[in-house]
Structure 1
């Protein structure tokens, strides 16, 4: 049998907002990580282009 002696005001309620907030935060983190990887790849490609094609000129 479960006996909870805490008054209702002190109990922690896990509302419905916590799950969407966590999922939204995870989605934003994933998008930022993807954008960072994409820009790093673009910089690498541009550097390779300049060193391979334009440096010999």
Structure 2
């Protein structure tokens, strides 16, 4: 624990800043990919717009 107390303050600030930047980048990349997956299918066509239908509209016999 005493080795942590001997670190210069500027080094501690740089380490903390780097951790915060890494966390914010992770959130930035995670959010757009999660929101896009609900809008388009894997072929890039919005579901129900001429692509693969959500469910079949065949009449019941």
Q: When the two structures are superposed, what TM-score results if normalisation uses the length of structure 2?
A: 0.56
Greater relative CO (CA pairs within 8 A, separation 6+): 2
**Structure richer in helix, relative to its length:** 1
The answer to whether structure 1 residue 19 and structure 2 residue 12 are counterparts is yes
RMSD: 2.1
Q: Cα offset for 1:45?
A: 1.7
Q: Cα offset for 1:32?
A: 0.4
User: Number of residue pairs matched?
Assistant: 43
Q: Cα offset for 1:14?
A: 3.0
**Residue number in structure 1 paired with 2:59:** none
Structure 1 segments unaligned to the other structure (5+ residues)? 1-12
